[in-house]
Amino acid sequence: MKRLALILCLLAAPLAAVQPDEVLSDPALEARARALSEELRCPVCRNESIDESNAGISRDLRLLLRERLVAGDTDDEAVQFLVDRYGAYILLNPRAEGANLILWYAAPLLLFLAGGIAFGMVRARSRADAPKDLTDAEQARLDEILKS
C-alpha cells in the first residue's frame, strides 16, 4: 500500500508544480495562465512545460506570465513577450514560420522524394531488357551449371 501511495505521489508530482502563492484570484485569468503555461517549455527541463516543471526559472516564467495577463495582455501578447525575451525555443509547439519551415516541411518532402526514387527504381527494374528466349547452346549451358 505504501508503494502504491509513493507511485501515485511521484506521478502527481509534476502536476503540482504551480505553487499556491502563484495562483491568481480570478479563475478566468488562472485558467488562461494554466493553458498558456502548458504550451511553454522550461528552458532547463527538456520537453517539460513550465506548468509541470519545478525548476526555479519555470516558477519565474509562470509568475511573469501571470503578471502580463493581469496587466491586460492578450494570450498572444503574453506569449510573444516571453518569446521575445527567451527565443522561439520556449514554445513547445514551434510556429511554422521563418527557419522553422525547413523543419516542418523537410520530412514530408524527403518522404515524397524517397517514394519517387523507389518508384523509379522498381519501374526501371521491371523494364530491364532480359533475354526472353535462350538458344539451345545457352539452355544446355544453363542446365549444366544448375546441375553442378
Measured CA distances, 39 to 31, 45, 50, 112, 113 (Å): 13, 14, 8, 31, 33
Measured CA distances, 141 to 41, 131, 132, 134 (Å): 71, 15, 16, 10
Total Cβ atoms within 10 A of residue 39: 15
Range of the domain at 136: 100-147
CB 69 within 8 A of CB 32: yes
Residues 82 and 110 occupy one common structural domain: no
Average pLDDT over residues 34-42: 90
Length of the chain equals: 148
Residue 66 within a domain: yes
pLDDT digits (tens, 9 = 90+) for 65-79: 999 988 988 989 999
CA 95 to CA 104: how far, in whole Å?
9
CB 51 within 8 A of CB 38: yes
What's the domain count of the chain? 2
pTM: 0.59
Residue 1 within a domain: no
**What is the pLDDT at residue 10?**
45
Residue 5 within a domain: no
CA 17 to CA 33: how far, in whole Å?
14
Residues 20 and 84 occupy one common structural domain: yes
**What is the pLDDT at residue 133?**
81
